[in-house]
């Protein structure tokens, strides 16, 4: 049930229950990092395999100390520059972090979310919260309390409503090779350009073989088939017999496409606005029950790259 009472959310969490919480990126499904039963319930409610680790959410940089060790200088610089905000850092864990949280790995993912409601909740609780996105495994992440209620409402005792998420896609996840470079494991709300500017170090992409969120083939997907549109000729992939095709656009390139429904993510061509609207647009189009959703790719820069990564993982046809 949705509500805006931080005290109610705190009571459920103190009892080892799960609660949906607002963040600036997407809604999370939270439990105390010290409650085994709460953590197990997260995996159960999401249908998520235990091999997929969880992000630990902390109130401020001060809470890092007991959770991680050997923090490289460039990680400190990033924490100071980007927290609270959509950046998650993977760092070697201490034994305070239950292996259930890290799927048995020796490193833990941590971030300080930039949402006033969740920051107050974390401060009141005094302990960190583990939270994956509040969707069923591999489905679109929810960016409103209503979407969480529709997806998980029956299975969780409380949804803390903090309004629509302002960033609208998940955090960027990074790992470090000492102080030499920053490795992006998942693109997200903080751009590569921002990371390079703060650290002055090379930013590299994840390599195969390490556990990262793109490992499973499909992710962030609507139930409706999703095709990606790069250029006009890609429209030829639409089978003739389809009666209802929706198109999610960023530019004017596909304005004349012969489809039944069009949504433009930002009239002014602003990538931040498009980012804040993309998941909810896909979610609403999915509910409308079209035969096919077409999604136009974004410019290959800044948040556009993060959005393209999401589209590629969600797509049935690339």
- Closest to ligand TXA by CB, 42 vs 245, is 42
Cα–Cα distances (Å) from 197 to 105, 168, 203, 215, 304, in that order, read 30, 23, 10, 28, 18
Q: How many residues bind Mg ion (CB under 5 A)?
A: 1
Q: Which residues lie closer than 8 Å to 146 by C-beta, 6 or more apart?
A: 2
With CB under 5 A as the contact rule, the residue among 23, 25, 133, 172 that binds Mg ion is 133
- Closest to ligand TXA by CB, 90 vs 151, is 90
Identify which range of 92-100, 130-138, 202-210, 285-293 contacts Mg ion by CB under 5 A. 130-138
With CB under 6 A as the contact rule, the residue among 81, 107, 125, 257 that binds ligand TXA is 107
Structural tokens at position 171: 């955090």
Identify which range of 48-56, 191-199, 263-271, 276-284 contacts ligand TXA by CB under 6 A. 48-56
Contact 162, 184 (CB under 8 A): no
Q: What count of Cα atoms within 13 Å lies in the side-chain half-sphere of residue 302?
A: 8
Contact 83, 112 (CB under 8 A): yes
Strands 87-92 and 203-205 come out as: unpaired
Q: Which of 194, 193, 195 is nearest to 175 (CA)?
A: 195
Can residue 52 be called a binding residue for ligand TXA (CB under 6 A)?
Answer: yes
With CB under 6 A as the contact rule, the residue among 28, 142, 222, 304 that binds ligand TXA is 28
With CB under 6 A as the contact rule, the residue among 102, 118, 144, 276 that binds ligand TXA is 102
Residues that bind ligand TXA (CB under 6 A): 23, 25-26, 28, 52-55, 86, 88, 90, 102, 105, 107-109, 113, 131-133, 170-171, 173, 185, 211-213
């Amino acid at each position: 049930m949705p509500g805006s009472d931080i005290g109610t959310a705190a009571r459920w969490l103190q009892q080892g229950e799960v609660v949906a919480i607002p963040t600036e990126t997407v809604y999370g499904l939270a439990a105390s990092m010290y409650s085994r039963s709460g953590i197990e319930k997260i995996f159960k409610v999401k249908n998520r395999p235990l091999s997929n680790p969880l992000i630990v959410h902390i109130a401020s940089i001060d809470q890092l100390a007991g959770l991680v060790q050997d923090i490289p200088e460039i990680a400190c610089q990033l924490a100071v520059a980007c927290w609270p905000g959509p950046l998650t850092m993977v760092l070697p864990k201490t034994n305070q972090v239950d292996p259930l949280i890290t799927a048995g790995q020796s490193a833990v993912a941590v971030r300080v979310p930039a949402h006033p409601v969740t920051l107050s909740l974390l401060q009141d609780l005094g302990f960190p919260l583990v939270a994956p996105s509040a969707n069923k495994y591999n489905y679109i992440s929810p960016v409103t309390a209503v979407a969480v209620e529709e997806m998980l409402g029956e299975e969780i005792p409380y949804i803390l409503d903090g309004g629509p998420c302002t960033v609208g896609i998940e955090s960027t996840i990074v790992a470090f090779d000492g102080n030499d470079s920053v490795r992006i494991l998942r693109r997200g709300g903080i751009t590569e350009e921002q990371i390079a500017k703060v650290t002055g170090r090379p930013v590299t992409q994840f390599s195969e073989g390490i556990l990262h969120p793109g490992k499973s083939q499909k992710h962030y997907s609507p139930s409706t088939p999703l095709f990606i549109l790069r250029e006009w000729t890609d429209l030829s992939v639409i089978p003739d017999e389809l009666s209802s095709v929706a198109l999610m656009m960023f530019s004017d390139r596909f304005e004349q496409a012969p489809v039944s429904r069009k949504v433009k993510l930002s009239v002014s061509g602003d990538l931040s606005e498009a980012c804040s609207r993309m998941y909810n647009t896909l979610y609403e189009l999915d509910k409308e029950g079209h035969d096919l959703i077409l999604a136009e790719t974004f410019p290959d820069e800044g948040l556009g790259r993060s959005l393209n990564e999401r589209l590629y993982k969600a797509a049935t046809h690339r």
